[in-house]
Structure 1
Amino acid sequence: MVYQCQKSNMAAKRVTLLSQLSFTSQKKPKPLSTLSTQSSSQATNTNEKHETFVLHHHECHHHIQELTTLLQQGQTEAAQTLTKSLLSSKSPSDLFNLFSFTSYSLKLSFSNILFSLLAQSKMHSEAMELYKAIRKEGMQPSITSLNLLLDSLVSLNKFDGTLNLFEEIIGSGFRPNKFMYGKAIQAAVKLGDLKRAYEFLDDMKQKGVNPSLFIYNVLISGLCKERRIREAEKGFNEILERKLVPSLVTYNTLIDGYCKVGDLEKAFGLKERMVKENVEPNIVTFNTLISGLCHAQRMEEAKWVLKEMEAHGFVGDGYTFSILFDGFLKSGNGESAMALYEEMKGKGVGINRYALSNWLNHLCKEGDFEKAEEVLQNEIEKGFVPNEVVFNTIVKGYCQIGDMNRAISMVEHMEKLGLGPDYVTFNTLIGKFFEMKEVESAEEWVKKMREKGVSPKVETYNVLINGYGKMNVLDRCFAVLEEMERDGIKPNVVTYGSLVNCLCKNGMLLEAEITFKDMISRGVLPNVLVYNTLIAGNCAAGNLTDAFKYFDEMVKGETGPTIVTYNTLISGLCKKGRITEAEALLPKITSNGCSPDVITYNTLLSGYSNEGNAEKCLDLYENMKSLGIKPTLNTYHPLISGCSKKGIELAERLFREMEEMHLTPDLLTYNVLIHLYAEHGDVQNAVSLHREMIDRGICPDKMTYNSLILGQFKNGKLLEIKDVVDDMKAKGLVPKADTYTLLIKGYCEHKDFIGAYVWYREMFENHFLPRFTICKELVIGLKEQGKSQEAQIICLEMKAKGMDNWNSDEDVSELAV
């Protein structure tokens, strides 16, 4: 009797609920027109509504009874079908509430059916609401329905939702199964949260749930994407330890990982292993290996893998050929790329947008614009639908060579095909016009951009600021900044970086600092380029105190200094003659995670070379070699010069070492050595090097000839000097004050004052004046050799030119009388 009474009460409650739900679903707001109708119409409408309500009430009651019967009879599929049809007219929460007063077992069965249907229908929000309602009732959805929902969430890339649900499942005390852990780990890996993924892995192991091959494959994939190849190898080994059999997916994933880090030997080794384990490679395996070889520019081997792939019965697809195509282009083999393109056309294999853009970019860089346009037109005729990126590639190519008419013609071609130029197109044109200093044209295209409905982006404003900055129109730079803010475009770090760069280049360091502070106050964090620009600007101005102030900010903040930062500071210190302080920065470079490079050592070498400290130069040279830093020509310039006082043998040894490193001597190197030989009076070797540099196509300059002149003086061969000067003139090098001074001084030292006077006359007639000390020596020498007339001419000419000290020197002024 008690049971029947309870059953009767539950039925009554269900009927009441049905009535409320039915009435609610039928209730609609009254139209305004019905407010003025007669009472008879109102009565009619009320009767119609009542009849509809009653019918709907009976219909719902009938469906619930039918569902209850089906569930009691265990006819689950029929119950699912009926529930699915009810979902088209009822909300999930309404249906769940209809069963809230049934028995526990019926309520749980219906909840699982409803939950599974929501998961299958991708109604995730409703499923999550239902999950909470079920849990509130003290029930737990079935493993099958939870698996369905987790799988559905992952399939739609709702990884955060997947993890939230999984955490709720664990928090409810439910013991997840292998599938659930797999989906949670997959979601964590997709979000790049490998730490969390491994926490789930550890948790499942602790709870005695053995990881599946799927889980290991997912983890290995995540590790390989982050290039954590050693950890991926550990995952592979764990698969073997757990007696799981690696699948084709496992092998392909790890092979791809090896290719990503450039370990092609291990990639091919793993491919051989999979064959031995009777896992046949597929087209993905071969494409991955081809991609790795192309990335390493090992194109011949890539072609061999293609042949092997075809031997296995696989036909290269668009992706295969695109990989090879891109590889040929990156390795600079345009001919092979062209041949492959023709092969693709012959086989009917279409080229993708990425490969086509690269191909067009290559042709544009090679200056073959006609071919680029021909290729594009052929692809369009074959049905290829280009996008803005493809056209922008050719527009950019024309801009790079300054052919703006054809660049604009390509924009017009885009528009004829129904493609509107985007902000990248306009930025390219505007930037090039600024580079060509055609400001009006640049501003005209900014106007056209707006007219065509393309809103300038922050990159556009950055192009404008950079363009005006390079033209030193700084007021326009700041006007653009104000315009950005009016248009609601927030300046970014590139915007401020351009402004700071312009100001520093113009020596406006105070304004640069104010801009820098304004940047920070607006919440734009400076990057390393901004700091380096400020440091370089202050170093160039000799303001090392402020340079180190910015450096200290970098070290204390989140923006770590780079090797460029340190090299700039070292250069600034060396220019101030503070070489020891500059060298003291070397250990700080390594302690901050950087490594000194060849520029670091070359700068220090130059500093010590200017001081004439040969020992330090040699120490630094040996140190950089021991660190594996390959010297450059800029290493040997100061090195040979700085070590010149140590004797010609050391300089010759360094010169030989330079050539052994396959470094071809340049003009500066030859000049240093020729000068060194000249100072030692070794004219033969000086002249030999002079011939060698000419044979190598290096044109000598005035310094070369001045050194050769010096060598002849050192050797006492005065008759040869005129030939050297004549050769110099024949090469189009007009002697200037330094050469004439050297000639006059040299002849004076050899007491050939008439010879010196001849060069003085040429110097004077070419509108150059010798220094007072040289004139004085020449005048006195001429006087001593009885050439008073020549001496007096020099005095009168110098006096007429107003040379300083001429009238105040008694020995010389007497000659002018």
Structure 2
Amino acid sequence: MPSTPSFSAAQKLAESFLRRFSTVTASARRRNLYSRINPLGDPSVSIVPVLDEWIEEGNAVNGYYLKDVVKFLRNRKRLSHALEVSEWMSSKGLCPISPSDLAVQLDLIGRVRGVESAERYFQSLNDGDKTYQLHGALLNCYVREGLVDKSLSQMQKMKDMGVVCCINYNSLMYLYLQTQQLEKVPDVLAEMQKDGVPPNIFSYRLCINSYGDRGDLENVEKLLEEMEREPHIDTDWITYSMVAKFYIKAGMKEKALVNLKKCEEKAEKGNAVAYDHLIGHYAALGGKGAVMRVWKLQKANCKKQLNREYITMLSSLVKLGEFDMAEEVVGEWELSGNVCDFRVPNIVLIGYCQSGLVEKAEALLQRLVAEGKTPTPNSWAITASGYVAKDNMEKAFQCIKEAFAVLVQNKRWRPKDDVISSIFSWVTDNKDIGEVEEFVNSLKSLNAMNRNIYVSLIKTYVKHGKDVDEILERMKVDNIELDQEMEEALNSYSRF
């Protein structure tokens, strides 16, 4: 006969059941109301009708779930939709609204409709609702917009009410960083300590940033030592990475290495972001061996390297001039099973072109194409730019045509004006009128026409005796006025 579980074991079983029940019910909710809200990504499309329909169908509304939806939408920067859910939740009176809910709503109003709307909302509330959370949210609205006077006035009100906390002082420090008043940040930290409010790790980081950005590394070191002495502060890898960055910038390699060692000691083994920071810093110091060592650690301790990790590693290898190793890492990326994001190999393409090795860039790109991968237009544009720099315009022309051919991969892509102008000028001098017009049609579809292209096009049309009226009309649409060079070209046209 099985023994009766102890109270502790029974409690754990109950907690496990509740967690599973919570997961199941949350999943069920997602399959209903959430599944209707999530696809509506266009911020101009209101989700209020979806919420109303949910109620009209007789469905229950769970306040905790709605708050989770607001949080989810905020995290994904769908702020207008988050505000709609928050206001709908308040207006319907279907669930209790806490002070933190009101603070979230005020913050969203400030982000979506501006500070004045946030102020009106704040004034519309009863005095009893104006808790420290509300005052803090209003302060954050002012800080976000860089409104120094209003931020200081709000902070003083909160002090007079006795509701200031560490986060509010941090907001002021962030304000001074944002408005480039770096010398005032340490004063806020000193005021905070004088007022008996213990700084947290973010307080110290903000202050260290203010010293580091001013190149005051002596005070950076002093403040870091103070952090390390504070029993309630657990100085983390992010802090040491930040300090190392300032020493690297100042060319103080030994001190940078000391802090990178501490950074590595503090980082959790499976923390890919920490490894990314270390790899980038070691590359900036020219440490190929350290870069490879940390990359090996990352691959051993992290389940999978995302595209972000490959971009960091490739950027570091390119910075070190290690192109053979970079190509090996590109090969690893190809076998990783990650989404084929050409921002990864583009790092190497750019590195090759900046080093005058555009032929190797094209060879890498052609290899990826031969393996069935479709580049983005930018990948071909990078190589085109490399060939322009080497004055190989025939190759530049062929590469930019390849970019036009894969425009569907990124319809928002726009070529660089200087590269296009150089290529088009060469095309008008070296290709027939049919190829010139084909090139122009591609540029029109991209809205990439500029003054230099119009000058070259007018000269080409005049040279071939073609009517330029359509060009002149297009220039008006693009708000490009005739200049002296265009006038001279037009004056050679027979009808003038």
TM-score, structure 2 length as denominator? 0.72
SS of aligned partner of 2:235:
coil
Distance in 2, matches of 1:661 and 1:560, equals: 27
Measured after TM superposition, the shift of residue 403 of structure 1 is 0.8
Q: 1:449 to 1:587 in 2, by over 3 A?
A: same
Distance in 2, matches of 1:349 and 1:555, equals: 48
Q: 1:477 aligned to 210, 214, 220, which one?
A: 220
Which residue matches 1:665?
414
Distance in 2, matches of 1:443 and 1:347, equals: 45
Which shifted more, 640-649 or 366-375? Answer: 640-649
What RMSD over aligned residues (CA atoms) do the two structures have, in Å? 4.7
Q: 1:569 to 1:649 in 2, by over 3 A?
A: closer
Measured after TM superposition, the shift of residue 387 of structure 1 is 3.4
Distance in 1, matches of 2:108 and 2:14, equals: 39
Q: Please say if 1:635 is aligned against 2:408.
A: no
Distance in 2, matches of 1:320 and 1:463, equals: 35
Q: 1:291 to 1:650 in 2, by over 3 A?
A: closer
Which residue matches 2:129?
384
The 5 A counterparts of 1:198-213 are none
What amino acid maps onto 1:479 in structure 2?
Answer: K
What are the Cα deviations for residues 434-472 of structure 1, in whole angstroms up to 9, with x where unaligned? 343323321221122123221111221111112222222
Q: Please say if 1:654 is aligned against 2:400.
A: no
Which residue matches 2:192?
449
Q: 1:442 to 1:333 in 2, by over 3 A?
A: closer
Distance in 1, matches of 2:338 and 2:81, equals: 40
Distance in 2, matches of 1:621 and 1:663, equals: 21
Which residue matches 2:211?
468
Which residue matches 1:619?
367
Q: Please say if 1:585 is aligned against 2:324.
A: no
Q: Please say if 1:186 is aligned against 2:14.
A: yes
Distance in 1, matches of 2:70 and 2:403, equals: 45
Distance in 2, matches of 1:372 and 1:301, equals: 21
Measured after TM superposition, the shift of residue 424 of structure 1 is 1.2
Distance in 2, matches of 1:604 and 1:350, equals: 55
CA contact (8 A) 1:309 1:315 kept: yes
CA contact (8 A) 1:509 1:537 kept: no
Distance in 1, matches of 2:215 and 2:371, equals: 43
Q: 1:656 to 1:319 in 2, by over 3 A?
A: same
Distance in 1, matches of 2:66 and 2:26, equals: 21
Q: 1:221 aligned to 21, 24, 45, which one?
A: 21
Q: 1:290 aligned to 10, 33, 44, which one?
A: 33
Q: 1:549 aligned to 288, 293, 305, which one?
A: 293
CA contact (8 A) 2:314 2:329 kept: yes
What are the Cα deviations for residues 135-175 of structure 1, in whole angstroms up to 9, with x where unaligned? xxxxx9xx9xx79xx7xxxxxxxxxx612xx6xxxxxxxxx
Q: Please say if 1:162 is aligned against 2:8.
A: yes
CA contact (8 A) 1:509 1:538 kept: no
What amino acid maps onto 1:185 in structure 2?
Answer: L
Distance in 1, matches of 2:205 and 2:335, equals: 35
What amino acid maps onto 2:14 in structure 1?
Answer: Q
The 5 A counterparts of 1:46-125 are none
What are the Cα deviations for residues 506-542 of structure 1, in whole angstroms up to 9, with x where unaligned? 4433321122224567x66585444433422443465
Measured after TM superposition, the shift of residue 655 of structure 1 is 1.1
Q: 1:401 to 1:676 in 2, by over 3 A?
A: farther
Which shifted more, 587-596 or 465-474? Answer: 587-596
Q: 1:162 to 1:413 in 2, by over 3 A?
A: same
Which residue matches 2:470?
none
Q: 1:184 to 1:477 in 2, by over 3 A?
A: closer
CA contact (8 A) 1:363 1:372 kept: yes
Q: 1:500 to 1:560 in 2, by over 3 A?
A: farther
Q: 1:677 aligned to 423, 427, 431, which one?
A: 427
Which residue matches 1:807?
none
Q: 1:439 to 1:343 in 2, by over 3 A?
A: closer
Measured after TM superposition, the shift of residue 499 of structure 1 is 0.7
CA contact (8 A) 2:183 2:210 kept: no
Q: Please say if 1:401 is aligned against 2:145.
A: yes
CA contact (8 A) 2:378 2:403 kept: no
Q: 1:255 aligned to 5, 28, 31, which one?
A: 28
Measured after TM superposition, the shift of residue 636 of structure 1 is 3.3
Unaligned runs of at least 5 residues, structure 1: 1-139, 151-160, 167-182, 190-214, 225-249, 260-266, 268-288, 717-729, 734-817
Q: 1:495 aligned to 239, 243, 252, which one?
A: 239
Q: 1:590 to 1:358 in 2, by over 3 A?
A: farther
Measured after TM superposition, the shift of residue 662 of structure 1 is 1.7
SS of aligned partner of 1:453:
coil
Measured after TM superposition, the shift of residue 331 of structure 1 is 7.3
TM-score, structure 1 length as denominator? 0.46
What amino acid maps onto 1:467 in structure 2?
Answer: S
What amino acid maps onto 1:685 in structure 2?
Answer: V
Distance in 2, matches of 1:427 and 1:600, equals: 36
Q: 1:440 aligned to 149, 158, 183, which one?
A: 183
CA contact (8 A) 2:48 2:84 kept: no
What amino acid maps onto 1:394 in structure 2?
Answer: L
**Identity rate, percent:** 16
**Which structure is larger by alpha-carbon Rg, 1 or 2?**
1
Distance in 2, matches of 1:555 and 1:451, equals: 47
Q: 1:420 to 1:585 in 2, by over 3 A?
A: same
Distance in 2, matches of 1:477 and 1:687, equals: 59
Which residue matches 2:348?
604
Which residue matches 1:193?
none
Which residue matches 1:414?
158
Q: 1:487 to 1:678 in 2, by over 3 A?
A: same
CA contact (8 A) 2:107 2:141 kept: yes
Q: 1:533 to 1:339 in 2, by over 3 A?
A: closer
What amino acid maps onto 2:37 in structure 1?
Answer: C
Measured after TM superposition, the shift of residue 370 of structure 1 is 1.6
CA contact (8 A) 1:462 1:495 kept: yes
What amino acid maps onto 1:255 in structure 2?
Answer: A
What are the Cα deviations for residues 323-346 of structure 1, in whole angstroms up to 9, with x where unaligned? 676688767574994698389447
Distance in 2, matches of 1:707 and 1:618, equals: 34
What amino acid maps onto 1:221 in structure 2?
Answer: F
Distance in 1, matches of 2:347 and 2:248, equals: 22
SS of aligned partner of 1:455:
coil
Distance in 2, matches of 1:620 and 1:357, equals: 51
What are the Cα deviations for residues 100-143 of structure 1, in whole angstroms up to 9, with x where unaligned? xxxxxxxxxxxxxxxxxxxxxxxxxxxxxxxxxxxxxxxx9xx9
Distance in 2, matches of 1:691 and 1:220, equals: 56
Q: Please say if 1:430 is aligned against 2:180.
A: no
What amino acid maps onto 1:513 in structure 2?
Answer: L
What amino acid maps onto 2:315 in structure 1?
Answer: S
Which residue matches 1:370?
116
The 5 A counterparts of 1:235-250 are none
Q: 1:449 to 1:290 in 2, by over 3 A?
A: same
Measured after TM superposition, the shift of residue 697 of structure 1 is 7.7
Which residue matches 2:489?
none
Which residue matches 1:42?
none
Distance in 1, matches of 2:339 and 2:70, equals: 36
Distance in 2, matches of 1:333 and 1:491, equals: 33
Measured after TM superposition, the shift of residue 690 of structure 1 is 11
Q: 2:55 aligned to 286, 292, 309, which one?
A: 309
Unaligned runs of at least 5 residues, structure 2: 388-392, 465-479, 484-496
What amino acid maps onto 1:424 in structure 2?
Answer: I
Distance in 1, matches of 2:300 and 2:71, equals: 43
